[in-house]
Amino acid sequence: MVEIDAQGIHYRDLNQRVRRLIGQGKREFNLINVNGQRYIGDGLASSVRMEINGTPGNDLAAFASGVEITVHGNVQDGVANTLNDGKLIVHGHAGDILGYGMRGGQVYIKGKVGYRVGIHMKGYREQEPVIIIGGTAGDFLGEYMAGGKIILLGLNRIRDEALVGNHLAVGMHGGVIYLRGEVEPNKLGREVRPEKLGQDDWDDLERLLADYCREFDFSLKEIISADFWKLIPVSSRPYGKIYAY
């Protein structure tokens, strides 16, 4: 494991250093004192593992494919942008537009996430992107979602803190969102409907959450003892009929 002290280093130099070391055959990194450096892990391929201590900047792991990153701290905006594959474990909160256009891999957030998370996530064949959020989420969660899974747990909420913001899953046309708890109908996009979970859903949920709970030392039993709902699209072609031919 190579340790890099990111204190005071510009993102360009930091990322270049990581790439150079990868070129020399290094695969495991421990980045310490990370403080807002953007684009860490961008475009990196499989078999690279990274521990990040501090707060990485925007676009962490954008366009990456296979990289594994654990962040001991919060992350900012644009994390896992167009991620193709890989695993991101964040021991903290995440900002806006997490997982935009994400096609594969897992993103586990221990805390809350901001606005526009999981927009236009899409699955393809064996690729199934998964975002699991321990806390709450802001507006536009899963907008335009075309595939994959989002699980929103809403743990550790203070008093009447809402599970999720407005415009949930607007334009969704694929994939599924699991919510631990109910959501007011006026927050839902017209393109989805809430449903109770079937046995397949529970199996899936347990499998996905088992891994998540292991990472954060959460009790799976406790988490799945609550009531879950799922959101699925009404149609895979929500706008198929709006045109005059």
Partner 1 sequence: MSLTMKSPEFLIDRDDDRCINCQVCERQCANEVHYYDHDLSKMSAVDLNCVNCHRCVTLCPSKALRISKYPLEYKENYNWSAEMINNIFKQAETGGVLLTGMGNPSRKKIYWDHLLLNASQVTNPSIDPLREPMELKTFLGRKPERVEFNGEGNIVNLPPQLELGTPIMFSAMSFGSISLNASKSLARAASELNMMYNTGEGGLHQDLYQYGENTIVQVASGRFGVHKEYLNAGTAIEIKIGQGAKPGIGGHLPGEKVGEEVSRTRMIPQGTDALSPAPHHDIYSIEDLRQLIYALKEATVYAKPVSVKISAVHNVAAIASGIASAGADIIAVDGYRGGTGAAPTMIRDNVGIPIELALAAVDDRLREEGLRNQVSLVVGGSIRNSADIVKAIALGADAVYIGSAALIAMGCHLCQKCYTGKCNWGIATQRADLVKRLNPEIGVERLKNLVKGWSHEIKEMLGGMGINAIESLRGNRLMLRGIDLNPNELEILGIKHAGE
103 binds partner 1 (CB under 8 A): yes
Q: Using CB under 8 A, pick the residue from 42, 68, 128, 204 that binds partner 1.
A: 42
Backbone angles phi, psi at 105, to 5 degrees: 90, 175
Cβ at position 124, least distance to partner 1 in Å: 4
Which among 80-88, 149-157, 199-207, 218-226 is the span making contact with partner 1, rule CB under 8 A? 80-88
Q: How far is the CB of 97 from partner 1 (least distance, A)?
A: 5
Q: Given strand 146-152, what is the order of strands in its sheet?
A: 2-5, 28-35, 49-55, 65-72, 85-90, 106-109, 130-133, 146-152, 174-180, 228-233, 192-195
* Residue in the structure block whose two tokens are 């890989």: 86
Instruction: Look at residues 95, 119, 123 and name the one whose alpha carbon lies nearest to residue 109.
Output: 95
As given in the structure block, the two tokens for residue 160 are 């009447």
158 scored as a contact of partner 1 (CB under 8 A): no
167 makes contact with partner 1 (CB under 8 A) = no
C-beta separation of 170 from 191 below 8 A = yes
What's the CA gap between 163 and 153, in Å, rounded?
A: 8
Question: Would you say 27 or 214 has its CB closer to partner 1?
Answer: 27
State the nearest-atom distance from the C-beta of 63 to partner 1, in Å: 4
Please report, as ranges, the residues that interact with partner 1 according to CB under 8 A.
11-12, 15, 19, 38-39, 42-43, 45, 58-59, 62-65, 77-78, 81-82, 84, 97, 100-101, 103, 116, 119-120, 122-124, 127, 140, 143-144, 146-147, 171, 173-174, 236-245
